[in-house]
Amino acid sequence: MTGYPESLTDPSYSGQILVFTYPLIGNYGIPKFQRDDSAKSIQDGFESGRIQVRGVIISNYSFEYSHFDAAQSLDQWLMDNDIPGIYGVDTRELTKVLRTTGVMLGKITTEIDENVFNVIDPNETNLANEVCVKEPVIYSPKNKDTKKKILLIDCGVKNNIIRNFLKRGAEVIRVPHDYNPVNSQHEFNGIFVSNGPGDPKMCKAAIENLKNSFDLNVPIFGICLGSQILGLSAGADTYKLKFGHRSQNQPCIEIGGHCYITSQNHGYAVDTKTLPDEWSEWFINNNDGTNEGVKHKTKPFFAVQFHPESSPGPNDTGWLFNMFIDLI
């Protein structure tokens, strides 16, 4: 029912057309938005400084909107940012197709010709390189005396991940996806590998750099794409899911622990059969049994496939940020 401004600006959706299954979209408008490609500011209500999706498909669009924080309509926001959208589509029927045949390539077009089926597969490019910062950006918490510094490997990080670290009093040093922590000119106490779009195997530099970072013996935490990159750095393999995991209600079970309701958006997973002996599976998806988290048996290296920072979604697993902060 809510969350479309966050979803549309989530870098993990870069290169994708987003289908909203909730039948009414646009009814509460869009908050005031200032495009910021430098990523120096973190705007409330948005997960990055620009719209990340390539297109939007809606069932019923509400041209009339009402909300105390609204500054413009969803329609105007999309037009101002040159993002195509279409409404009047039976999105629940379309979802049934996607849930039967799997995620597929698509195009929104006004013309039917011989080029209509020439669709570029975004997963064949390094999308993380398109959505990450190009130069280091430092975010300081209100407590300027903090001694906890996190090197954030940006593969398409959501703003709320940075907010969670700042709220817990840590300084965040946001660096490009191919940044090498071993040769860093910045001091840090822990490494975080962010979420992001596309095939994790395209992030070759990030995988190799993180593998070399294991010898630094500092805590390492990954989320979503970061979990896949950590798995690949450990020596495991990843594979493409037929359907992927989307939405804000995915149940995940901690091995030997509780079941949590989580927010998710990913199309790849770690193959736990290929995990080295010193690593173990940490979480599994209760719907299909696929991996949702890995951790090292003796060292402070761990990652989850879901989004504990939410935005949108439940906050049930926010304790993972506390766990990481405590370790550093």
Annotated catalytic, 111?
no
Q: Which helix (H) or strand (E) holds 129?
A: helix 127-131
Handedness of CA 301, 303, 309, 311 (dihedral sign): positive
- Please state, in angstroms and rounded to a whole number, the distance separating the CA atoms of residues 71 and 43: 14
State the DSSP string of 48-102.
SSS---SEEE-SEE-SS---TTEEE-HHHHHHHTT--EE-S--HHHHHHHHHHH-
Both tokens assigned to 236: 């495991």
Annotated catalytic, 266?
no
Select which of 132, 224, 245, 296 is catalytic: 224
According to DSSP, the β-strands at 85-86 and 55-57 are: parallel
* Sequence letter at residue 311: S
Select which of 177, 245, 266, 307 is catalytic: 307
At 264, give phi and psi (nearest 5°): -140, 155
Annotated catalytic, 67?
no
Number of Cβ atoms within 10 Å of the Cβ of 236 = 19
Contact 302, 295 (CB under 8 A): yes
Which residues belong to the active site? 224, 307, 309
